[in-house]
Amino acid sequence: MHKEKILIALTVLVDVIGIGIIIPVLPFYVQSFGAKPSVITLLFAVFSLFSFLSAPFLGSLSDKIGRRPVLIVSILSTAIGWIVFAMANQIWVLFLGRIIDGMAAGNLPIAQSYLTDISKNDKERTENIGFIGAIFGIGFIIGPMIGGLLSSVSHSFPFWVVGALALINSILVFFFLPETNKNIDKSKKLSLNPMTPLITAVKNKELLPAYIIWFFFGMAAVGMHSVFSLFLSQAFGYGAFTAGIFMTMIGVIIAINQGVALKHFWLKKFKESNLTLWLMPTFAVGYFIMGIEILPVFLVGMVLITFTQSVLRVTLMSQIAGSANPNERGEVMGILAAVMSLSTIAGPIVAGYVFQVHESLPFIFSGVYALVAFGIIICVQRKLQHKILPEDINVAPQDI
């Protein structure tokens, strides 16, 4: 295995462990300030808003000056953001912490660009992106367990730990991670307008349907994640520790599916385009099942969406990465992150408000989003056939 691949894996692992620690705890921490579910999910959305504003710029900047310096700044921003969040005594300080984190939230897109830089062919590129997914799975095994345990000290303590982990992460990157971008374009012009790359994406008729599919895929995934702990509390009376156990179960499934099954089963037995077509409606059904407030049924739905989502995320992202020119790959991955950020702005906001109407509604909405994505996939495959989603040219669209 490449030294660069090992180091970026460790970097992502530390980052994801931090994310895994806070996901089951954050809703309960924010509730201690007297916040409603809509305010809690708005904290997810405000991070995504500032990530949307920064991600395309950071992706282009990594093409211009290299992946390494951008990644260091991004990780430091995460550390500062979580420390501010942990020391909050008012709700507005919570929002400030999430804004600081989101202002340079380019960790994952830059890491993905690293691995696409060192990929020798299409298959290796897909496997490397799946490798990142497996690291996510491992992080979500370790992180939620730690988060649940740390929350027994206090609901703010996990966020201090996350901030410390991010600082350690930045040190590791600074001293040990080499630059892998061999196509640095110092003459590349950068735009501070976050809409510029999205406008470019809209003009790209080949990739536009794939970006739209990615948007609805993100709406489905993130809308559910933002209310996951709240749902467990409302429907089954579970707290942060049990929510951490459920998130750990999700991490185990992701690690097995992307770390082992993706390479040795999914990509061997099926074309990427067929996986996208067949798994998207299954993804939708899983959400509809999760909305049923019977614990065994809920668990079946949870397993179903975790399996399908972990495969879909890789195949969709791999196809888009494969369509990009090497000297524009960082920008394309940044655009992809920006599209996902748009979905993670809208998804949590909608989920928070409909949750206040009924706790099962966010799952129903997520299922509908997935069906919309499925409908677009069918239209694309019928009208454009080999131009957008087929295996032979590798095009197509998480966390979050």
CB atoms under 10 Å from CB of 389, counted, come to: 26
On whether the CB atoms of residues 29 and 156 are closer than 8 A, the answer is yes
Task: Please give the pLDDT value at position 328.
Answer: 67
Distance between CA 53 and CA 349 in Å, rounded? 17
Task: Please give the pLDDT value at position 284.
Answer: 96
Kindly report whether the global pTM for this prediction surpasses the value 0.75.
yes
Q: Report which of residues 242 and 8 the model is more confident about.
A: 242
Q: How many residues does the chain have?
A: 400
On whether the CB atoms of residues 335 and 201 are closer than 8 A, the answer is yes
Q: With bands split at pLDDT 50, 70 and 90, how would you rate the model's confidence at 400?
A: very low
On whether the CB atoms of residues 68 and 58 are closer than 8 A, the answer is no
pLDDT of residue 387 exceeding 50, the answer is: no
pLDDT of residue 323 exceeding 80, the answer is: no
Task: Please give the pLDDT value at position 268.
Answer: 84
Distances from the Cα of 116 to the Cα of 16, 60, 125, 159, 298, angstroms: 19, 15, 6, 31, 36
Task: Match 């367990």 to its residue by tokens.
Answer: 145
Mean pLDDT over each residue of the chain, to the nearest integer: 82
One-letter amino acid of 306: T
Q: Which one, of 217, 3, 250, lies nearest residue 136 by Cα?
A: 250
On whether the CB atoms of residues 343 and 218 are closer than 8 A, the answer is yes
Task: Please give the pLDDT value at position 364.
Answer: 96
pLDDT, average across residues 247-267:
83
Q: Report which of residues 63 and 236 the model is more confident about.
A: 236
pLDDT, average across residues 248-267:
83
Let me know if 272 is exposed, middle or buried by CB neighbors in 10 A (0-12, 13-18, 19+). buried
Distance between CA 172 and CA 2 in Å, rounded? 17
pLDDT of residue 337 exceeding 90, the answer is: no
pLDDT of residue 197 exceeding 80, the answer is: no
Alpha helices in 291-360 (DSSP H): 295-323, 329-357
On whether the CB atoms of residues 354 and 367 are closer than 8 A, the answer is no
CB atoms under 10 Å from CB of 278, counted, come to: 14
> What values do phi and psi take at 118, rounded to 5?
-95, 5
Q: Report which of residues 400 and 264 the model is more confident about.
A: 264
Instruction: Supply 187's token pair.
Output: 């003459």
pLDDT of residue 194 exceeding 80, the answer is: no
Question: Which tens digits make up the pLDDT trace of 16-29?
Answer: 887 788 788 889 99
Question: Which tens digits make up the pLDDT trace of 64-119?
Answer: 888 888 888 888 998 999 999 999 999 999 999 999 988 877 667 777 777 777 77
CA torsion angle 79 51 337 327 (round to 10): -80
Task: Match 């504003």 to its residue by tokens.
Answer: 53
Task: Please give the pLDDT value at position 367.
Answer: 96
Percent of residues, the chain, with pLDDT higher than 70: 87
Question: Which letter, b or e, does each residue of 117-132 get, where b requires 16 or more Cβ atoms within 10 Å of its Cβ?
Answer: bbbeebeebbbbbbbb
Q: Identify the DSSP state of 325.
A: -
Task: Match 């491992």 to its residue by tokens.
Answer: 138
Q: With bands split at pLDDT 50, 70 and 90, how would you rate the model's confidence at 393?
A: very low
Distance between CA 101 and CA 76 in Å, rounded? 9
Alpha helices in the chain (DSSP H): 3-22, 26-31, 37-65, 67-86, 91-103, 107-117, 122-150, 157-176, 195-203, 208-226, 228-236, 240-256, 267-269, 272-290, 295-323, 329-357, 361-383
pLDDT, average across residues 192-200:
71
Domains and their CATH numbers in the chain? 3-176+198-387 (1.20.1250.20)
Distance between CA 141 and CA 247 in Å, rounded? 7
Distance between CA 230 and CA 66 in Å, rounded? 40
Distance between CA 296 and CA 291 in Å, rounded? 12
